[in-house]
Structure formats: C-alpha cells, structure tokens
Structure 1
Amino acid sequence: MMNRKIKKVAVLGSGIMGSRIACHFANIGVEVLLLDIVPKEPNEKEAAKGLTLESPAVRNRIVNDALAFAVKSNPSPVYSKSVLNNIRTGNFDDNMKDIATCDWVIEVVVENLKIKQSVYEKVEQFRKPGTLISSNTSGIPIHLMAEGRSEDFQKHFCGTHFFNPPRYLRLLEIIPTPHTDKSVVDFLMHYGDKFLGKTTVLCKDTPAFIANRVGVYSIMALLHLVQKMDLTVEEVDKFTGPALGRPKSATFRTTDVVGLDTMINVANGLRENAPDDEQKDVFVLPDYVQKMQENKWLGDKTGQGFYKKTKDKSGKTEILALDLKTLEYRPQEKVKSATLEATKPIENLAQRMKVYAQGKDKAGEFFRVSFSGLFEYVSNRIPEISDELYRIDDAMRAGFGWELGPFEVWDALGVKEGVEMMKANGKQPAAWVSEMLDAGHQSFYQIENGNKRYYDIASKSYKAIPGQDAFIILDNIRASKTVWKNAGTTITDLGDGILNLEFHTKMNTIGGEVLSGINKAIDLAEKDYRGLVIGNDGANFSAGANVGMIFMMAVEQEWDEVNMAIKLFQNTSMRIRHSAIPVVVAPHNLTLGGGCEFSMHADHVQLYAETYMGLVEFGVGLIPGGGGTKEMALRASDEYHAEQIEQNVLKEKFLTVATAKVSTSAVEAYELGYLLKDKYAITMNRSRLIADAKAKALELANAGYTPPAPRKDIKVLGKYGLGMVYAGANSMRSANYISEYDQKISQKLGYVMCGGDLSAPTLVTEQYLLDLEREAFLSLCGEKKTLERIQSILTKGKPLRN
C-alpha cells in the first residue's frame, strides 16, 4: 500500500451531511475545504447592505449558513469550537481550483445522478492525479457515477457512506466499483477505522448497501407486523428498546428523529431497485404510513409523527402517541409485560435473548415473529449484499446502534433452535445455514485464543475476522486470561507484562469491591508485572462513587465508617499516582466523579474521543472527595505564574468543580483542566482503546518508569483566595442563581482549595489538602440537605436544588 497521508480534505456540498462530515474531519485535525453553490442573487438583507452577487459574503452565503447551522445543532458535531479553525469555506465557481491541494475529495451533493456527474466534470479539471475521490450517496449505484471519467479518476473513486450524525454513528460503508484500485479500498478501510473512529464495512454495490437494506427491511416488516398483531406505538417502542439491546429511542421515536420521509425514500428506492428481493412486498407502505405522509406527519421536523409534543391545561409539556387505527393522538399508555420484567435482571444480553424468545405474552410472540423474518432475510442476503456474515452484524451494530447484530442474536438462541423457531413461524433459512448445521457446525461465531472467528460459507470453515489483531476485546479473553476477580472487578493479563483491571458493577460505580480490586491489581503488577491499565468494555467507564453506600452509612450515622471509606478512596487515587509501575486509565463515555478522579491521578490517560468527563459531586451536595478537590488546587498552583493574577486561575478551577462541568468530548476534557498537556492521548475508535492503553503502559515501562514523588510545594492562597470565593458565592446567592445550600457547599469547596483560612499564601503538601478535603466531605455527609439530594438522585434519578 502506497504511503498515503490525509492532510487536507475537500467536502463538496454543505447540506446536513456535508457540513457534519466536514466537522468530523476537523475534529481529528485535518484541514477541510467545504464548498457549495453560489446563490442566484443577494437576499433582502444583503441587498440592503449594498452587497452584490460579486461580494464574497453573498457568494459563500449558502456554505457559511449551512456550517453555522450545523455547529448550533444538538448534539454538537464538533469536539470543541476550537476545531472550526480547521475549516475553510468557499464555492464551486471560485474555489473548485483549490481542490488541487487536497488529498481526498468527498462529494455530498443532492441525490441526483446528473448533478453528481456535472460536479465530477469540474472535479476532473482540477483534481491532481492520485487524489482519492468518493461519494457519500446512499441511493445511487456507485458504478454509474464514475462512468465516462478518466482511468485515474475511476481507479481512485469509491463510495464512502457515512451515517448521520457522522461524529456519533460509528458506521462507514466502503463501496468500491469494479475499477477501484484494491490499495484504495484497503487504505479507506484502515483510515476510517483508525483515524475517523469508524467501524468500516466493505459493501457490494447493491441497493441501499448493507445497513439500510437490512435496517429498513426490519423497520418496514415491523410496520406491517404492527397491524397483524394489533400493537400500539408504545408497545413497539418498549419491545424494541434497551430490553432488546437497542437504543432507548427504539423504533418509532428514532423514525420521528430521523424523519419518516427519509425512511419512505429508502423503502421506495428498495422496492424499485431490488426487484428480485423475495421480500419486496414488505417495502410497500402500509396505509397508515401513506396517510401520515399525506398529512405531512413526518416526525420532529414537522412537529408530529408517531408522537406529538403538546402542552396540557396546566401548561406542562405532554407527549402524545398516535393511535395507528384511528390516526388520532392520545395520551401514552403504560406498557406491561411479564417477559420484559423477566429480562430486566439479566445483564448479559445474549442470555437475555433466550428469555425474551421464550416469553408467553405479546412481547415474546413479537420477538419470535419479527426475528424469524429477520433471520430468513439476512441469511438470504448472502452472498447478494456480502459474502461474509460478520459484515452484516458489524453494519447493524455501528449504523443502527444494535448491541447484537442479527447473526449474533441467532447465535445467542442457538442456530438450531433459531431454525426451529423460524419454521414454527412459517419462515425458512437459506440453504447454506442447513448445510452448515448438517456439517456439524453449531454456531456462526467461535472464540479461539481470544479472537473471534466467523463461519465462512465459501470454505465451510471458521476464519479470523480481519483487523481484530489491532483490538483487545475483554469479553473474548476474560475466560482464559483472568488472574483474579471479586464481585465488582476482574483482573486480566493482557500479555507483555501488562494487567488490566475492569469494573463490572451497575453503571460501573465505585464502591468497596472496586477499590479493593484496584489495590489488588497494583499489588500484583508491582510484584510480577510491568504495568497496569484500568479500562472496561461497559457502556460507560464509570458513573462515579456508589453514593447509595455513602447514603446508607450517613443515615446510620456511622461516621468512622464514612471517614474510612473516603480515606480508602483517596489512598487508592494516590496509589494510582505513586505506585512503582505505570498506571494508564482508559476512560470512555461517562467518566464522572471517582472515574474522573482516577483519571486525574494516572500516569497517562488514554481516552476515547467520546468521553464525557467531570467532577459532579456538587449535584449531590458534596465536594469531590477522592482526591479531586486536592488535584484541582494542585493544578491551579502549577498554573500560577508571575504575570498572572492568581485569583483568576483559582476562580476558573473552582468554578469548574462548583458548576459540575462535564466535558462534551475528550478535547473539551483537556480544555476544562481534567487532563494535563503531555499526559493524555485520544483514541478515535472505541474498539482500539484497551490496546492503545496497553501500548502506552508498555512504552512507559520500557522508558524506565519512576513514580513521581509526593508533592510538598503546592501553593494555596489562604484568606487571600477565600475572600474571592465567599464574595462570589454571596453575589450568586443574592442574584438567586444558587440556593443558600449551594452557597454553603461553595464555601466548603473554596475552603479546601484555598488550603483553609491561612493568613498568607503558603506551600502545603498533598496530604494536607487531602485531609481538608476529607473533613469537608465528611461534614457535608452529616447535612440533612445533602442526604435529601442524594436520595433524590437514588430514587428519582434527578438532582434536587434544595
């Protein structure tokens, strides 16, 4: 593979997808040129300012408005506003020549073959040979677009189908044409995975590729099933949500967000372009969906779809559901299901599927009927849309947020059992499934030496899934590599002298068993290994300390126990920092409270790009008590320079904790001061996180790791800082921004960060600050209002502002 580097990308078309694809390349530090058409004439505002069609502000209005709209959208397409410096805007007439300096040109204009071909004509004039060129189409056959282009263009041309929103949805489908050079395909598969953080799936040039072909079949089949089984909108969303390992927004809520019209377009396209699909009748819209289309009930964009937001008599927001029979909106009904209740306590999703499939009520029946159809459909799509079954599972997980792909669900039930279920529901698997079972192969996947292998239909044998050697998947190695475990943690040998400690408590909260697990892992690593990674494969790294445990002890007034628990937490954070071996923490997604404190004490933080990190204890009436408050004071001290006003530095750190700021990305976690400049690195692809963290621990060990000495030189401002904190809290209170109790917690936090009421700025030790932190935490645990706040979080999941 030639040594290709992507320094600059041109994105042609700045609509919803184009602007967001541009933002995601900017997120990873690539220079982006975003172009769109020139408007036909100045608008009223521009004309009033005396601008003409020659003015740059007019010529670039479409692209600049589109980018501004994208950046304001929620969730944000950028890691931080600072990455927008990587994007330059322009238009097709004046700036197409600038694509000569780009390494990759991505076309994202409207889904119209003629328009796309006219854009490629312009591209061909200015593009330098060897530059990658790709289209983000989802509806037009890729080979048609490259017709009539030069040989060099065709060799470097490919479909690259991002899913919306590109920052958050992990799927990138790569669709070569017969002329695409193999090295281009290999490069895009690797680049998408490693640099863009995507699950890259190689697709054939078939209608709707893989994810939309299976996903839209699945939704359309469900729309028909709703009528057959007489299901309500609420029932379907309850049956197809988290219980099934699918997003909370399930089916109808997701359709409202994406837009019913989008789904109808793909379904209509499939009906026209896949005439040989044995299920083509499924792509015909049921009458109630046609009615919704006529009424323009397309979801959020038109204010109503399967759900409608209204206000009740008292002005409270209420979300109504659509009655699919009468097409009238009505209050939502609670869904009760014995099957779903039975699946609730089962954490392991594969085991949950078995229970779901055996359900005796509507939910169980729904599962059997819908999955029988889905299994038949995906088995028939091989080799049409993919030669390998794992690509279908990858596409559904990454594009539709399913935790298990269709073949993985089938494996969970047992392939043989799945076939029996299908036959009972009048469905038949493809012939290759029966041949596989007849040959004695019982499953679609196997784990061998920590690697997942898939059943390859052509060779009738199991093969390694390519690219897995770059990943360490704890689920695959736990069985053979566990060194030690307790109720809340497992210590695994990652090889090369590096251990991994994972939490598996509810929401990965940190209680006694997690603290003892970390200490045990450090003991083992110091004795017989070279380094430690603290990372896990859970949905979130950690939601913070187990406040339920603190609440119980505080209610019972067991103050010695609370004191011991805080001390153990602090000591564990300090042990992470001062142990004889390097400790790398690998956070992802929610990393709150104690999870953030452990990260702040690590030798290195290897974090996933989507990490939402923060010290949030203030919300439950406490201050960070696991070393977080001490650490913020220490970091403020390190930033005090002669030319700076020290109080301003302190104020910034104080406010980050007092407002419980949580980062919206890894980049922002650094900007908020939770990460230190040379002590962190970002992993784009979540599947690579543990492997990257292990590599970093090894690098530190190989460099001759020595632990940092405990600090004795932390400058605290004493009364000089406290004056500012108290005055600030006072004015916030008078302006009614915070409650009286918030003011009290602010003062406690300020007291610790200022090192107490010392008469002058003083140098203190880490232990001095830890003792103050523990004392303040302990005293807040004894306050009725703190206990009320904790209780509100535990019982209602909502913060209380008392």
Structure 2
Amino acid sequence: MKRSIKKVAIIGSGIMGSGIACHFANIGLEVLLLDIVPRELNDKEKAKGLTLESKVVRNRIVNDSLTASLKSKPSPIYNQKFASRITTGNLDDDLQKIKDVDWVMEVVVERLDIKQQVFEKIEKYRKPGTLITSNTSGIPIKFMNEGRSEDFQQHFAVTHFFNPPRYLKLFEVVPGPNCKQEVTDFLMVYGEKFLGKTSVLAKDTPAFIGNRIGIFGIMSLFHVVKDLGLTIEEVDKLTGPVIGRPKSATFRTVDVVGLDTLVHVANGISKNCPKDEALDLFKLPEFVSKMMENKWLGSKTGQGFYKKSMVDGKKAILSLDLETLEYRASKKAKFATLELTKTIDKVVDRFKVLVSGKDKAGEFYRKSFAAMFAYVQNRIPEISDELYRIDDAMKGGFGWEHGPFEIWDAVGVEKGIELMKAEGLEPAAWVTEMVASGQKSFYSVTEGAKYYYAIPSKSQEKIPGQDAFIILDNIRKSNEVWKNSGVVVEDLGDGILNVEFQSKMNTIGGDVLAGLNKAIDLAESDFQGLVVGNQGANFSVGANIGMIFMLAVEQEYDELNFAIKMFQDTMMRMRYSSIPTISAPHGMTLGGGCELSLHADKVVAAAETYMGLVEFGVGVIPGGGGSKEMALRASDLFHKGDVQLNVLQEHFLTIGMAKVSTSAYEAFDLGLLQKGKDVVVVNKDRQIAVAKQHAKLMADTGYTQPAKRKDVLVLGKQALGMFLVGTDSMEDSNYISEHDMKIANKLAYVMAGGDLSEPTRVTEQYLLDLEREAFLSLCTERKTLERIQHMLKTGKPLRN
C-alpha cells in the first residue's frame, strides 16, 4: 500500500509538541497543533473582559506555547514564514479535524492515564488506516494500546524524537505488539528520507535505546567523579569535543536538559529494569539528591551544576563544588594526557592515546570506557538485536561523533576487554566468542559499504539502508584519485568526482585552491562532473586568514595580490569549467566557503547550512568573488526605477551586516541561494549522493560551458552616492565605527561599479579587479590587521 503524508496532527503543544510541529512544517507539511482549553481566565483576559467561551481564550495555551517556541533560540523552524503551515486549535472544539489528517502524534504529559484518555478521544474521530504514534520516552506500548480497536493497534507505534526535534537526529521507532510491519517500515523510511533523521528501530523496553545508554553514561560518570575526586569542569573538559561530544559535555548538558528530567528517566530505569546488572549506578548520588531538594535543576531554575552570577561587577559563571555543595569561581581544567592529543585531528585516533594516559585523565577514561563497554555489550539482545543501532542512537540522540562500539573498535576490542577486566567486569559470551573466532572488530568496510558483526550469524553483515548514502570515510582509500595536504579527490562513480577539503576547519588556503584546480582539471579531462563536498562538522569557515595576516604584516602585497587573484580565478573556474560543478555545503559555510558555493553551477545544501559573507568581521570585504557576485545577482533582479537601488541595497546589507542564514532556506531570502536552481536536502547523510545525482543529470542532459558574463549592470554614482550618504549618517549616529564606514565605503565602490557617471554594462572581471583592489587596500590598514589578529586569537570579531 502506498502511503503519503500531507497533513499531520500534533496533540500537545509543550516544548516537544511545538518543536515537532515546527519540524513537520519545516519539511512542507500542513500541521494541526492542538492542546487543552484553559480552566480559568488569566489577568490579561479578565482586564479585556473576555470569557472562557472566547476563541482567543480557548486557544490560549496552544498559541502561547507555539509563540514561545518560535521565539526560542536556536529556532525550531527553518524560516519563520514556514510557521504559516501550522494551524492551532483546542481538543474540545477542533479534535474532529483529525479525520482529515494522515498521521496523528500524541505528545502530552508522560502519564499513562492522560495518554489513555487522549487516545480514547482520538479514536472517535480518527479515520481507519491513519497512522497514530506517541512521542513517549518510555511508557510501555502494551499499556497505551489497552482497550483500543484492532485498526488503531495495527497502526500504532512510538515515534520518539529527541529535543530539540529540528537539531537532534535520533528518531526511535518502537512498533506496538500488533503494529503492521508495513507501518513500521514506512515510519523508518519516512524518518530518514523526509524528516532527515537517523531512524533507529528499538524494542519496547524502558527508555528504549538512546536514553537507556545515555542516562547510564551520565549516572556512571556521576559515580566516577566522586571516586576520582574530579571537579565538574574537569569532567566537562574530558567528556566534550576532545572525544567527539558536544561542547556542553556532561554537566552543562544536564543543566540544559534539566536535572529533574535526568532523575525521572534514571528512576524509571531503576524501577522497571530489576535485572539490570548495573542497577546500583542508577541510584542517585548524595549530591544529586541534595540538588533535587534545593531545586537546583539547571537552566530552568537559574542554577544547577553551573550558575550565572555577578563577581566584582562582571558577569561570571560559577561552578558547584560537589564536596561542599557551594558555588565557587570556575577553575580551568588541564591534563597532560589531553596535551598529547592536540596534534591528533581525528577524534577516532585519540582514544588509544587517552586510555594510555598516566595521569588522572587516563584513569578516568579507562574506568568510564570500561563501564560503557560492559554495559552496551549486555544490552544485546535486550534493547536491540544489532549493535550498530546502539551506536546510531548515541550519535543521533546525544550528538556523539562515535558510538560505544565504534569507540571500542578504536581502542581495540581486546584492549577494551582488558580495561573491563581491570575494573572487575567480564566480557559477554558473544564478545568472547567473536574474538576467539579470529574477528577483531565490530565493524569493517568492504567496497565502500560498512558491515557490522551480527551475533546470530557470527559474521560481518552489511548494514542495511546504505544505498541512498555515500559515506566518504568508507570510500576514501579505495576510490582516491589524487590528494595533497589540503584535499582528497575521490571517484564517486558514474563519471563524477568529489573534492573533499582536509584542512583544519576546512579553511581555504593555497593547498585547497591547488586541489580544487587539479580536481577541475581531472574532471574536465576524464570525468563528467565535479562535486565539492565533505562530511566534516562544517563545510568551510572561509579563507585561511592566518596566511592573509602574515602576508599583510610582512607587507608582501604582490604575493597577497597573487593569492587573492588565485582565489578569484579558482572561483571563476568553478563557474566556467566545461563540466557541471556542484557545491554541497552544510554547517558553517562562511566567507570563502560561501563564495565557492556562489560560483558553483548548482548548490545542493543541507537544511542545516549557516551561510554568510562575514569578511567585515575581520576588516575586509569579500575578496574571492563574493562582492562581485552579489552585485551581479542584484543586476539580474533589476527592474526599472527605484527598485534597482532597493535590490542593490539589500545585497549590500547582506555583506555589510555580515548576515548569516540560520538555515539553507533562509539563505534563499539573503540571495545566497537561488530559487529554481539550488536545492535543499533535509538529511545530511544523503547530501553527497544527491549532489552526485544532480551532477550526473546535468552532464547527461547536455551540459554546455557557460559564456562569460559581460552584461552586469552597475549603477555607478547613482548607487555610490546613496551608499555613502547612508554610511556617513550611520557613523554620525555612532551606529558604526569610522573603520566600519571605511570598509562599507570600499564595498559600496565595488558594488556600484565605481564612480561611473551613469548605469553601465560591465564584465565580471571588471568587478573582480575592483574587489581585489579594495581588499588589498584594506589589508594595509592597521585596524584591519587588529581585527584579523583578534579573530585568530579569540575566534571572535573585534569592533574597533
């Protein structure tokens, strides 16, 4: 049976309900968001003379919740305009509208009696065959299903999102005992393909997979902290980016999520998993119990493990001393073992070094990894039959770069067993059997596909669902065509090459530009198309400003001019090569990374792409073709009269205010992506494969090399005058500094096409020459050098 989803109903508009509603709106669906009717008027409603029968009052809870969600940061929605896809209502007046939807999702409070009441009401109006799911984080399905019709039960499952729904990728699907297989299969595919999630099939066990393992990890650390006498800052240093975890690490994460939420889940596991061998670790340490008593729950109560305060008139973040339970000034954490990993760029290569540490950090890693390895091995087949699902859940739900079994592989399976035994923990029978059979890893890669150790067959089996993905890590060695220190060029098959940046933060320097040119050479001579894509944390944070700073400080202006021209020429090769070029940006796509995308034939952007020309922050204008390109794009939008100035001004402000899109969809509004040409992919894992498809399609349908543009309309003095008056008045009112005005005026000169006496058609090269000249002149300014130096030292812009 073919099933399509056009409209969904979300029952419950709290933080999760509103967030889920926004994410369904993100992907283009109509959403009906419902909640209860208020029991009494609030003060504002009384003052206005409203009654409980008023529609405004009856929808107050749902409207207030949605409004709060849309104002929250980070935003739950790709573009505020998408909120118009959400219709609000209440359960008393509007529940009958669910007869018109394709999927009803319950997201009410975690109480079985309330959920059962909601399902009873839903069943009165739900049409047969409609999907019905719950976002519960752990209530057994058999209890929620009780008393429901056969059709309801056949279409009922848990679909568990993690908060915030837009950003966390885990989508746990837990089929009910009578759920049809076709429904389970549909939900798994829909989560991955349309919602952009990592769909993980879970069993109906307490806390499912993500929270069962994640909460164990946190509770285990609580006990290790006390045993080793570590501070909370030290633990957050040890469990953050150094091991591929979010910056919030452990204690900051608990503060954000809420200590009460953590305790609720931990107590649920403790109560409902009496045979769990690690049950003692789910018991609350004394400091957690005391914090619960004091209502130190984290961000929601203003204090938790950390607390914002004023110290000597300055804002400061205080840390909780777990011994005294008093707040004190934060202490910087430093360990010799971590120093050894500073030169190791890949997280996966650090684990062997970390567990070999001779200090307290090494001891911490040995103990914590041993506990985690022992725990996850024993959860099979209790919570999952396949080990890769546990890794997928931790990566998708908790933002880990590597799952527990992947970390165990990185440490070495036998070394992991050694760590466990040192802590009095024994390997599971299946692990011992695996090692005895000569298999030394949980995962392997063959012909670009990833395999996992399947316990029933005692062999490596291919992880299903990979056909829609191209994972560069899996193909890099076997498909490498060329490489230097800045890039690797891989053959994606079907005549399409990929050029993958390998520099720190994927910055664009001389090696990367040389690699891009080589990739275009190779594609033009022996292939049909080129994708520029990588699967790092960010596409590219821009040009290598360290190199620019050194050349400018040494006053090597000829060399700097050559470097900027090489950047411009490479961007123009992207635009005017004889093969289609596709850019596949994701994450931070800033400065030069944005300029590269502006010059590709097509952009296949991940939905989570944060794109912008941010060069003003380091005291220059975009010098790799970005200033030229925004003038060209404005020219293409020009109509007669004043509209020309308005369009040009919008593009000028996009650069001048260093605007960065909060999603790929917002990049269309900024003119950085182009409607009808560029496309957005919600699931980043599919991005390289989709980019390859577009490159192949363009090649197969007769791609022809574009003719260089000689028809860019610039407005000359008419536009320049407008810009100069505007920047002068902004400087007079102290809105911008004198140096800001100087940079803005340089940009104005470029985008106006100079001080031409009348509107004129010019070539792209004319604008590129103006852009390069302006960039170089700003590099001679002391205040620009101060800005670059400050950015290099602190990672933050300086306004001088």
- Place the TM-score, normalised by the shorter chain, in its bin: over 0.9
Instruction: Indicate the SS of the match to 2:94.
Output: helix
1:722 to 701, 713, 720: 720
In structure 2, the partner of 1:545 is: 543
376-385 or 552-561: which moved more? 552-561
Residue in 2 aligned with 1:195? 194
The match for 1:21 is 20
One-letter amino acid matched to 1:109: V
Q: Report the equivalent of 2:60.
A: 61
Aligned to 2:213: 214
Select which of 515, 519, 522 maps to 2:520: 522
2:417 matched residue in structure 1: 419
Deviation at 1:44, TM superposition (A): 2.2
- The one-letter code sitting in structure 1 at the alignment partner of 2:160 is H
Separation in 1, partners of 2:145, 2:736: 61
After superposition, where does 1:246-325 map in structure 2 within 5 Å? 246-313=245-312, 315-325=313-323
The aligned amino acid for 2:78 is: Y
Does the 8 Å CA contact 2:138/2:205 hold for their aligned counterparts? Answer: no
Equivalent of 1:706 in 704, 707, 715: 704
Partner of 1:149: 148
2:555 corresponds to which of 554, 557, 566: 557
1:751: how far off?
A: 0.2
- Aligned equivalents of 1:190 and 1:499: distance in 2? 28
Q: Distance in 1 between matches of 2:65 and 2:707?
A: 52
**Separation of aligned partners in 2, 1:730 and 1:717:** 20
2:224: which partner in 1? 225
SS in 2 for 1:692: helix
3-state SS of paired residue (2:290) = helix
Q: Please give the secondary structure, in 2, of the residue aligned with 1:571.
A: helix
> Separation in 1 of the partners of 2:442 and 2:210?
19
Deviation for aligned residue 1:645: 2.2
Q: AA paired with 1:324?
A: L
Residue 770 of structure 1 corresponds to which residue in structure 2?
768
Q: 1:436 aligns with which of 426, 434, 437?
A: 434
* CA-CA distance at 1:144 after TM superposition: 1.3
- CA–CA distance in 1 between the matches of 2:62 and 2:376? 40
Q: From 324, 341, 344, give the equivalent of 1:343.
A: 341
1:44 and 1:341 map into 2 onto residues whose CA distance is 58
Bigger shift: residues 59-68 or 331-340? 331-340
Q: For 1:634-686, what per-residue CA distance to the aligned partner results, in whole angstroms no more than 9, with x for missing partners?
A: 11111111265211111111111001000000000111110111221111111
**Does structure 1 residue 330 correspond to structure 2 residue 315?**
no
Match of 2:327, SS state, is: strand
Q: What is the aligned partner in structure 2 of residue 128 from structure 1?
A: 127
CA distance in 1: counterparts of 2:612 and 2:256, whole angstroms? 28
Which of 756, 780, 790 is 1:758 aligned to? Answer: 756
Helix, strand or coil at the partner of 2:350:
helix
**Structure 2 match to 1:674:** 672
Give how far 1:707 is off.
2.4
The counterpart of 2:646, out of the listed 645, 648, 662, is 648
Q: Distance in 2 between matches of 1:720 and 1:512?
A: 38
Aligned equivalents of 2:492, 2:468: Cα separation in 1:
13
- Alignment length, in residue pairs? 800
The residue type equivalent to 1:754 in the other structure is A
1:41 aligns with 2:40: yes
Match of 1:620 in 2: 618
Q: In the alignment, residue 613 of structure 2 is paired with which amino acid? A: L
After TM superposition, the structure 1 stretch with the greater mean CA deviation from structure 2, 707-716 or 610-619, is: 707-716
Aligned to 2:794: 796
Q: How many angstroms apart in 2 are the aligned matches of 1:139 and 1:539?
A: 31
Q: Does 1:382 align with 2:404?
A: no
Distance in 1 between the 2:121 and 2:642 partners?
53
**Residue identity in the other structure for 2:649:** K
- Equivalence for 2:9: 10
1-structure distance, mates of 2:556, 2:103: 64
Return the letter of the residue paired with 1:52. Answer: T
Give the distance between the partners of 1:135 and 1:798, measured in 2 at CA: 43
User: One-letter code of the match for 2:493?
Assistant: G
CA offsets 1:123-157 (integer angstroms, 9 cap, x no match): 11111111101000002112211111111111110
Distance of 2:220 and 2:780 partners within structure 1 = 57
- Whichever residue aligns with residue 189 of structure 2, its letter is H
Q: In structure 2, how many angstroms separate the alpha carbons of the residues matched to 1:24 and 1:235? A: 36
Aligned to 2:782: 784
Residue 519 of structure 1 deviates from its aligned partner by: 0.7
The counterpart of 1:497, out of the listed 492, 495, 498, is 495
Contact 2:453 2:460 in 1 (8 A): yes
Partner of 1:458 in structure 2? Answer: 456
Matched, 1:159 2:171: no
- Whether contact under 8 Å (2:575, 2:600) holds in the other structure is yes
Q: Report whether the alignment pairs 1:684 with 2:682.
A: yes
Residue in 2 that maps onto 1:445: 443
Aligned-pair CA distance for 1:245: 1.1
Q: Distance in 2 between matches of 1:275 and 1:423?
A: 24
- Distance in 2, Cα, partners of 1:732 & 1:5: 52
Q: C-alpha distance in 2, partners of 1:318/1:44?
A: 36
1:554 Cα deviation after fit? 1.0
Q: Is the counterpart of residue 482 in structure 1 residue 480 in structure 2?
A: yes
User: CA contact under 8 A between 2:306 and 2:319: conserved in structure 1?
Assistant: yes
Identity %: 67
In the TM superposition, what whole-angstrom CA distance separates every residue of 1:473-525 from its partner, at most 9, and x where no partner exists?
A: 00000010000000110000000000000001011000011111111111111
Q: Which digits, 9 at most, give the CA deviation of each residue in 1:747-784, with x for residues without a partner?
A: 00000000000011111111111111111111111111
- The separation in 2 between residues aligned to 1:3 and 1:773, in whole angstroms, is 54
Q: How many angstroms apart in 2 are the aligned matches of 1:269 and 1:64?
A: 32
1:204 corresponds to which letter in structure 2? K
CA distance in 2, matches of 1:555, 1:229: 48
In structure 1, the residue matched to 2:507 is 509
Deviation at 1:695, TM superposition (A): 0.6
Change (3 A) 1:159 1:643: farther
Amino acid at match of 1:365: E
In the TM superposition, 1:739-758 aligns within 5 A as 739-758=737-756
- Matches of 1:465 and 1:404, distance apart in 2: 16
Q: SS where residue 32 of structure 2 aligns?
A: strand
- When the two chains are superposed, the root-mean-square deviation of aligned CA atoms in Å is 0.8
Task: Choose from 627, 630, 647 the match for 1:629.
Answer: 627
Q: Which residue of the other structure, out of 693, 696, 715, is the alignment partner of 1:695?
A: 693
* TM-score of the two chains, using structure 1 as the length reference: 0.99
Letter in 2 for 1:390: Y
What's 2:396 paired with? 398
Report the alpha carbon displacement of residue 702 of structure 1 after superposing the two structures with TM: 1.0
Partners of 1:363 and 1:244 lie apart in 2 by 12
| Alignment partners' CA distance in 2, 1:490 and 1:228 | 45
Letter in 1 for 2:286: D
**Structure 2 unmatched runs, 5+:** none
Taking the aligned partners of 1:336 and 1:621, their CA distance within structure 2 comes to 34
Secondary structure of the structure 2 residue equivalent to 1:411: helix
Deviation at 1:537, TM superposition (A): 1.1
Matched residues in 2 for 1:45 and 1:615: separation? Answer: 44
Cα displacement string for residues 310-333 of structure 1 (whole angstroms, at most 9, x for unaligned residues): 0111x2111111110110011111
- Corresponding position of 2:108: 109
1:220-261 Cα offsets, whole Å, 9 max, x none, are 111111111111111111111111111111100110011000
